[in-house]
Amino acid sequence: MTATENALEQRSWVRDLIIVGVWLALPYLVVGVFWADAHRQHLSKLHGLDATASYVGEVIAWPVLIFADVNLE
C-alpha cells in the first residue's frame, strides 16, 4: 500500500468515526432539548448568560438530572 492510499484510508476511517459520533449525539441532544424545555420554570428568574448556561447545562446533563431530581439555577 502506498503512502497516498494509506492517507486516504485513514481519512475515510476518521470521517466514518465522525459520522457515527454525530448519529449518536443527535438523539441525545434532541432528548436534552425536550427535557430542558419541559423543566425551564427556573429560567424566568435568570437573565442573559446565566439563563443560556443553565439551559445548555440541562441539555447536556439531562440523564443526571432525571435521577438526581435537581434543577440547574
In this prediction the pTM is 0.69
Cα–Cα distance, 73 to 44 (Å, whole number): 10
Query: pLDDT tens track of the chain, all 73 residues?
Result: 676 666 666 677 788 888 999 999 999 999 999 988 888 787 788 888 988 998 998 899 888 888 886 655 5
Question: HSE-up of 46 (CA within 13 Å, CB side)?
Answer: 15
Q: Tell me if 62 sits within 8 A of 35, measured CB to CB.
A: yes
pLDDT of residue 30: 95
According to DSSP, residue 39 is labeled: T
pLDDT of residue 13: 77
Counting runs of H as helices and runs of E as strands, what totals does the chain give?
3, 0
pLDDT of residue 15: 83
